[in-house]
Amino acid sequence: MTVEPARSQSSVPVVEPLYFARQLSDLDFNDRLLDLVADAGLPLLERVKFIILFSERIDEFFQVQVAGLRRQVTAGMKHPALNGSSPAELLEQVRASLERMVQRQEALLVYQLAPALAVEGVELCDWSDLDDADRAYLHDVFDRLILPVVTPLTVDPSHPFPYISNLSLNIGVEVHSPREEGPRFARVKIPPNVDRLLPLPGGDRFVPLEQIMVAYLDELFPGMEVGQPCVFRVTRDADLALDDDAADDLLLALQEELRRRRFLPVVRLEIDSRTSEGPVARLTEELGLGPDDVYRFAGPLGLDCLWAVYGLDRPELHDEPWTPLVPPAFTSVEREEDANIFEVLARQDVLVHHPYDSFSASVEELLNEAAEDPDVLAIKQCLYRTSGDSPIVAALVRAAERGKQVAALVEVTARFDEEANIGWARTLEEAGAHVIYGLMGLKTHAKTTLVVRQEGDAVRLYCHVGTGNYNPKTARMYEDLGILSSRPALGADVTRFFNYITGFSQPPQYRELVTSPGGIRDRVVELIDQEAGAGPDGRIVIKVNGLDDVAVMDALYRASQAGVPIDLVIRGICCLRPGVSGLSDTIRVRSIVGRFLEHSRILRFGGVAGRPAVHYIGSADLRRRNLDRRVEAMIPVADPEAVAQLDEILRINLADDVQSWSLSADGAWHRIPTVVGVATQRALEEAALERGDLLDGRRAMLT
């Protein structure tokens, strides 16, 4: 079955399918991570990091995407995916792709990473290879540290099959008492509060905790005959379902759903393929799984344990460290040429590019100064995700305690951060801040801050609109953009925006700000169609994390058929088919993956054949969920210096031949061969250093 977009042209060729399936495109990104694991040119411990990230992304994919497809199949839903597949067909395609990727992950770990680590003196030891001295040492560790912590549970008529928690690691085994006729099934949970990789004396040598427990399993069942053990791990559905009644008390409903999440169905059973499979039939029966839900892996299950290896103090095996720079516009504050950040923003807009520009010296500094400044009357902010020891939240708390009006929209339904966000919300409320727990039915994903400051007889509005979360930790690892400004028109728009989301009013009319639901899709399609009207003299360059919105993809197809050159830099999901004759000949799609997570959203239209360019940045990807089910904010960028910097970022992205993959018409991603040697993230580090040097040079000339 083919899903076709509504379009007016009758000459559009029939292509099956017009789009790629979102879930399969999402999985494709993981292959690019494995490409980096296999890249011997990268520092060894960075390759370890990429295999951990792959493992964690696969965990999340099962909890969300596979779980969602299973629910659709169970409910008998027939609505086709973007590639025309039914939910059952798509689930089969997803499982085949996952099986292939897991096999590739295993081969990379066992045959490439582990031997390469051993050459560098970092050994991932197997119990079977240990000598008597090592085993004696580990037996002592078992007696002192492990035996008092673990709790073996057996199943019998008075002891039902135990609850298996999400992503927990366990040992399943049959045990038999000489006084009883048949064996019983027993489960031992690997304690999550004990290091998964236990170090051995003498060098960087590690043994997985589960192997030690398997070796001494008989000591947990004294007097019993212990069968062959099976190390296993389960993954559960992690989606939350808040109904309309939750609007009466969103926080209470969410807390109840978080409790319910613990008992959602299991969607994957992982088995250590080197251990016994005797208990597998019992596990699949008890967990309600079929053979297709079982995945076997010859290595540690859940590779987050390898963070201990990645964290080793071996600088020669890591990327060269990068220290974010103070944005040139704000060095005058550090040098006390300006008394505060507000004096800088009163003169100019400032575009900040993280992690090349320091988050703490820009966005965080704005919040800190606003909290302390007696002339600041109010601070308003959207918080989607933040760090565990968030200085952003600390600044808002200080501001509230000093009597300033503080309003924080805390998105408590941000997936997997729900409990942390509830905690931040409580902290802010206790300090006297006004806390809004999101909008029912919508996630507030916008990255916006407003600071209201009394300056003489007037009030001045300072704002930040960005592409990334207010999280100082991820700001050092995620590539993001933000505009800091005191322009009256933008400040007025951001004020209306906060009044809308805190007062639950109707969406207002804005002069500059573009928001969703509704507005961002309409504006983007309008801008694409304008370029289509220019034909070959049009130009579109878009950098986002995902593209699956049919209306936007259809508009891009129309522009391509009009001859518009189109470049899309899409890190993750891309459901558009590029390079199809008569449909998307002029569309090129690339993905950039490196040490920093490409996260910014930049849209550029025009700028060739004497036509002015229009630039936007914002929080929204061009995905249906962002445009229909999330509150997002996007703004035009007009400041000449900021525009030049955005153009430089896009130029470097499109020139990259080190960190880039290209998407072909058949859906395959291919690594772009290195010819010139342009690596986006290294080039942007150099550009940031150059901007700082130029500013220092200009200052020296002036003095």
The residue ranking higher by pLDDT, 181 or 543, is 543
pLDDT at 388 (0 to 100):
64
Percent of the chain with pLDDT over 90: 71
In this structure, the answer to whether residues 612 and 695 fall within a common structural domain is yes
In this structure, the answer to whether residues 40 and 89 fall within a common structural domain is yes
How many structural domains does the chain have? 3
Mean per-residue pLDDT for 49-59? 96
Q: Which residue, 494, 40, 31, 48, is CA-closest to 308?
A: 48
Q: What is the identity of the amino acid at 556?
A: L
Angle at 545 between CA 113 and CA 317, to 5 degrees: 25
Q: Given a cut of 90, is residue 78 above it in pLDDT?
A: no
Tell me the backbone φ, ψ of residue 65, rounded to 5 degrees: -75, -50
pTM of the model: 0.91
Q: Do the domain assignments include residue 347? A: yes
- Domain span including residue 623: 514-702
Question: How are the residues of the chain apportioned to helix, strand and coil, as percentages rounded to the nearest 5?
Answer: 40, 20, 35
3-state secondary structure of 277: coil
In this structure, the answer to whether residues 264 and 179 fall within a common structural domain is yes
Other beta carbons within 10 angstroms of residue 12's beta carbon come to 17
End-to-end CA, the chain: 71
Tell me: the pLDDT tens digits for 645-677?
Answer: 999 999 999 999 999 999 999 999 999 999 999
Q: Do the domain assignments include residue 236? A: yes
Query: Out of 445, 464, 599, 615, which one is annotated catalytic?
Result: 445
Tell which of 271, 286, 317 closes a domain. Answer: 317
Report d(CA 258, CA 268) in Å as an integer.
20
Q: Do the domain assignments include residue 608? A: yes
Q: Given a cut of 70, is residue 253 above it in pLDDT?
A: no
Residue carrying structure tokens 């509150």: 631
Give the DSSP per-residue string, 2-49. ------S-TTPPP-S-SB--HHHHHHHHHHHHHHHHT-TTS-HHHHHH
Band the pLDDT of 482: cuts 50, 70, 90.
very high
Q: Can you list the positions of beta strands (E) in 136-214? A: 152-154, 169-176, 184-189, 197-200, 204-208
Report d(CA 3, CA 365) in Å as an integer.
49
Tell which of 284, 317, 350 closes a domain. Answer: 317
- Is-catalytic flag, 445? yes
Tell me: the pLDDT tens digits for 513-531?
Answer: 999 998 999 999 999 999 9
Instruction: Give the DSSP letter of residue 329.
Output: G
Band the pLDDT of 202: cuts 50, 70, 90.
confident
CA 657 vs CA 335, 661, 675: distances in Å: 39, 8, 7
Q: Given a cut of 70, is residue 453 above it in pLDDT?
A: yes
Mean pLDDT score of the chain, rounded to an integer? 89
Tell me: the pLDDT tens digits for 367-393?
Answer: 999 999 999 999 999 988 776 678 999
Tell me the backbone φ, ψ of residue 473, rounded to 5 degrees: -75, -50
Give 156's strand partners.
159
In this structure, the answer to whether residues 298 and 237 fall within a common structural domain is yes
Tell me: the pLDDT tens digits for 402-430?
Answer: 999 999 988 776 666 667 777 777 888 89
In this structure, the answer to whether residues 151 and 231 fall within a common structural domain is yes
Q: Which residue, 593, 606, 541, is CA-closest to 57?
A: 593
In this structure, the answer to whether residues 174 and 245 fall within a common structural domain is yes
Which two structure tokens, joined as six digits, stand for 657?
């031949």
In this structure, the answer to whether residues 176 and 253 fall within a common structural domain is yes
Band the pLDDT of 146: cuts 50, 70, 90.
very high
In this structure, the answer to whether residues 552 and 671 fall within a common structural domain is yes
Q: Given a cut of 90, is residue 53 above it in pLDDT?
A: yes
Contact 555, 531 (CB under 8 A): no
pLDDT at 245 (0 to 100):
47
Q: Do the domain assignments include residue 235? A: yes
Contacts by 113-116, CB closer than 8 A, 24 or more apart: 113/37, 113/44, 113/47, 113/48, 113/51, 116/40, 116/44, 116/47
Q: Do the domain assignments include residue 251? A: yes
Q: Given a cut of 90, is residue 184 above it in pLDDT?
A: no
Q: Is 292 exposed, middle or buried (0-12, 13-18, 19+ CB in 10 A)?
A: exposed
In this structure, the answer to whether residues 313 and 377 fall within a common structural domain is no
Q: Which ranges constitute the DSSP H helices of 443-577?
A: 488-503, 519-534, 550-561
Tell me the backbone φ, ψ of residue 478, rounded to 5 degrees: -105, 140
Cis upstream peptide for 517 (omega within 30°)? yes
Angle at 690 between CA 687 and CA 695, to 5 degrees: 130
Residue carrying structure tokens 């942390």: 420
CATH number of the domain that 204 lies in? Answer: 3.30.1840.10
CATH number of the domain that 484 lies in? Answer: 3.30.870.10
Which two structure tokens, joined as six digits, stand for 405?
């009006």
Which two structure tokens, joined as six digits, stand for 373?
């400044």
Give 230's strand partners.
172
Tell me the backbone φ, ψ of residue 507, rounded to 5 degrees: -60, 130
Give all strands of the β-sheet with 197-200 in edge-to-edge order: 122-124, 204-208, 197-200
In this structure, the answer to whether residues 299 and 381 fall within a common structural domain is no
Give 123's strand partners.
205
pLDDT at 277 (0 to 100):
78
In this structure, the answer to whether residues 51 and 102 fall within a common structural domain is yes
Sign of the alpha-carbon dihedral angle for 353, 354, 359, 361: negative
Q: Do the domain assignments include residue 3? A: no
Q: Give the contacts of 576 (CB within 8 A, at least 6 positions apart).
A: 19, 20, 547, 553, 556, 557, 568, 584, 587, 589
Instruction: Give the DSSP letter of residue 453.
Output: E
Contact 34, 108 (CB under 8 A): yes
Query: Of all helices (H) and strands (E), which one includes residue 97?
Result: helix 87-108
Q: Which residue, 672, 650, 478, 482, is CA-closest to 568?
A: 650
Report d(CA 453, CA 13) in Å as an integer.
57
Q: Give the contacts of 201 (CB within 8 A, at least 6 positions apart).
A: 134, 137
Q: Do the domain assignments include residue 10? A: no
Contact 422, 251 (CB under 8 A): yes
Q: What is the identity of the amino acid at 149?
A: V
pLDDT at 632 (0 to 100):
95
Q: Given a cut of 50, is residue 703 above it in pLDDT?
A: no
Q: Is 32 exposed, middle or buried (0-12, 13-18, 19+ CB in 10 A)?
A: buried
Q: Do the domain assignments include residue 121? A: yes
Tell which of 465, 480, 503 closes a domain. Answer: 503
Q: Given a cut of 80, is residue 127 above it in pLDDT?
A: yes
In this structure, the answer to whether residues 499 and 526 fall within a common structural domain is no
